[in-house]
Each structure stands twice: as C-alpha cells, then as structure tokens.
Amino acid sequence: MSGGRVSEGVTRDTGTGIRRRSIVPVLRMRGRSIHEEGRVSTPLELLFDLTFVVAVASIVAQLAHAVAEDHISTALPNFLMVFFAIWLAWLNFTWFASAYDTDDVPYRLLTMLQMGGVLVLAAGVPGAFNDEDWRLVTLGYFIMRLALVGQWLRAAVQDEPGRRTALGYAVGISIVQALWIFRLLVLNDMPFPAQVAVFALLALCELAVPLIAERKRRITWHPHHVAERYSLFTIILLGESVAASSSAVQGVLSAGAATGEFVLIAASGLALLFGLWWVYFLEPAHEGLERHRSRSYFWGYGHYLVFAALAALGAGLEVAVESIGHELEVPSTVVGYAIGIPVAVFFVMMWVLYRPLTGPTVIPPAVSLGAAVAVLLLPLAAPVISLGAVVLLIAVVVAAVIGVTVLYRREPLSSVPPSPADPSA
C-alpha cells in the first residue's frame, strides 16, 4: 500500500508536532505506507536489538579464542555459519517490522517470543562453534521462526492486498525451517565438510524465500526505516568490538603487562573502529533505497559480509591486545590478518553494495579497492615493525580513505537517474 496511511493508534501532538503512539490492544495489520513521515526505529525494536548483543558477544569471544590458539582455518566455517543464523534472525524481523509493525498487544507478545528465541540461540553459540552441536541454535531459531510465521499469517488474514505475498513467506519459512530440523535430526552425524555443504544449501533456500514470495507483489518496507535499522546493527557490532577490546585491555592491566606497544594497539584499535564507523555513515543508504527499491534484495543480503567482517574484526583486535604480555601460539602475521582481512572485506563490500544504489559511490572505487589491497599487505610487515605498528598503519589507511572521500567532488545523488525498471521511479 503506497498511500499516505499512518497506522491506527498513532496521534500527533499539535502543540509540539511530536508524533506519539497510543497503546491500542489490537489493531488490524496492514502494510504501512512507504511514504510515512518520521518513520524511525521503535522502542520495541531497540529492545529487540539488545538481545542480539549477547549472541554477537558470544561468537566474537569464540572466534578470538580460535585465533589466539591458531585454529582459525577450522574455526572460520563455524564462525560464518553461526553468524549467519544470528544475522538472518535479526534481518527477518527487521524487514517484516518495516512493513507490518502494528505495535499492538499480539505484535508485542510475538516479538517477545522472538527475543526469547534469540537468547536460546545465543546460549547455543559455544556448542555450535566448538563441538558442531546445533541443538540449541536450531531450537532458538525455531522459536523465532514460529513467531515470525505467526506474524506473516496474521498479515495474510488482515491485509488483503498483501495476502498472497504474506502466505508465500509463511509457507516458505515453514518449509525451510522443517529442513533445518531434518538436518539436525538426520544429517548431524555427517562429516564436517558435508555438514558445511548442507548448511550452505539451506542458507541459499532461506535467501530464496523473499524472491519467491514477492514475485507478484513486494512488501511495503520503508527505505529510511530499513537504512536506520542496518545502521543500528552496525553500531551494535562496532560496540561489541569495543567491548571485546576493553575486556582484553583490562586483562593486560590486571597482569601488569602494559607497555608502549600495548598503548599503541589499544589507541590504534579505537581509532580504527571510529574510522570504520565514519566510513559506513558516509554512504546515504536511505536515498538509494528510496530511488531503487528493486535493488534492496542485493543490498540487504549483501550486508551479511559487512556485518560478519565487523564481528570478526572485534575478535582480531581482542587477540592483538591479548598478545601483549602473553605468549600466544599464533604468529603476529596471522593476528595482523585477523584485523586486515575484515577491514579489506568491509571496504570491498561498501563499494559493491552501494554502487548499484547511488551510481558513482560516495567513496571513489579506486580508493575503496586500493585501501583493501593496502590493509592486506600491511600484516606481512608485522614481524619487522611490530603488530602495534601494523594496527596503527591500518587505522591510517582508513583515515586516508575518509580524508580523500571528504575532498572528493562528485555529482549529488539527486542527479543520478532512477532505474527505468524500478517500480518506485
């Protein structure tokens, strides 16, 4: 529905102009307007995000231990699979809420059920990561999917224009969830490479559900709201990197092992995270999403690599700090790459994801790709110039990208013509 409808239960204070939502027990669930003014994240969505802090913190800690023990080659597939489960659970809620958030009692209760599923999933992260025990992760995911199917069925009943799409989502999610349970009960004893292959196949099935469900009619997600939700999850991941590094700093200080190298790594790590935050918010996602709604699938799902890179970076920084005063089994070059590779992936994906939305991207392509190459070469110098110097130089590369981008002149986004095939054009 593309009209100017505002959901029932929303009123405006004519004295202040501030929009507020009154509490209504039950509302009719209908597609919200894509042109709704002032569409931002709700307090319920912010509370929902907090449950993911636990899951992200757990997987960052597990990856950090694997890097410190020089088991990264075996741990990386587990990290990518577990993070996929965490990320997809968040993503499914985000896009549904952007289209159908009624914020009434049934909606809130089903969201609370989803939050419970997130916490169960988070409790299963160590087992899945270390022992390939997916029982708790699958259970938590099942709880979340059960609640989400309930939301889609409610939308199918109450939103007649979007009924076919909503039923497509409900059926598609249910079928894939049944396959996940089948994998757990029947295929869990397969060799690890086979398990990874089956996981990848089911992940592709998950990604295919929106393509199938929205063949005839797309859901009415709000561009500004979706862009803000992705921004908030980016901040959560950066915050977890700060928390992981802070925990490592406390350990070094408690052991009395603080040195100049320690100060260099800690300060450079903070500057690096701040720089990546700056780079991410250089890209005006909501403008591109508004002009090119048909490209949202690529942008939305492609963020998996952006988010996974930021989570992995937190683990790398934690190990870098822990290396001060501790004899680790992992070479300094490997620790450097645990930082450099995530930063390189971040730069490449920022170019890949935003070019289809904005045409000439905010960050010049040569700058993005050049920065990615630079941060991949720097860890090779770790045995010569020290790990702290490598982290500092990576932060300098990020700062250089920001400086060049700020000075880079290009045509404003308004001059980029919308795609002729885009229905929102």
**Has residue 376 got a pLDDT over 50?**
yes
Yes or no: say if 206 and 185 are a contact pair by the CB < 8 Å rule: no
Q: How far apart are CA 38 and CA 68, in angstroms?
A: 46
User: What one-letter code names the amino acid at 156?
Assistant: A
Q: What is the pLDDT of residues 125-169, one digit of tens each?
A: 888 888 888 899 999 999 999 999 999 999 999 999 999 999 999
Residue extents of the structural domains in the chain: 42-213, 223-415
* Model confidence band, residue 368 (pLDDT cutoffs 50, 70, 90): confident
**Has residue 42 got a pLDDT over 50?**
yes
* Contact partners, residue 80, CB within 8 Å, separation at least 6: 308
Closest CA to 397 of 369, 355, 421: 369
Question: What tokens were used for 23?
Answer: 């509490």
The SS3 call for residue 34 is: coil
If you write DSSP's letter for every residue of 26-41 in order, what string do you get? -----PPPTT-TT---
Closest CA to 94 of 243, 223, 203, 194: 223
* Contact partners, residue 370, CB within 8 Å, separation at least 6: none
What is the C-alpha R_g of the chain? 22
Q: How far apart are CA 71 and CA 328, in angstroms?
A: 12
Q: How far apart are CA 257 and CA 247, in angstroms?
A: 14
DSSP3 helix / strand / coil % (the chain, rounded to 5) = 75, 0, 25
pTM recorded for the entire structure: 0.86
Mean pLDDT of 183-198: 86
- Confidence (pLDDT) at 11: 43
Q: What is the CA 221 to chain-centroid distance, rounded? A: 18
Q: How far apart are CA 300 and CA 95, in angstroms?
A: 9
Q: What is the pLDDT of residues 102-132, one digit of tens each?
A: 988 999 999 999 999 999 999 998 888 888 8
Mean pLDDT of 405-413: 61
Q: How far apart are CA 124 and CA 135, in angstroms?
A: 7
Q: How far apart are CA 347 and CA 358, in angstroms?
A: 16
**Angle between the 387-407 and 365-377 helix axes, to the nearest 10 degrees?**
170
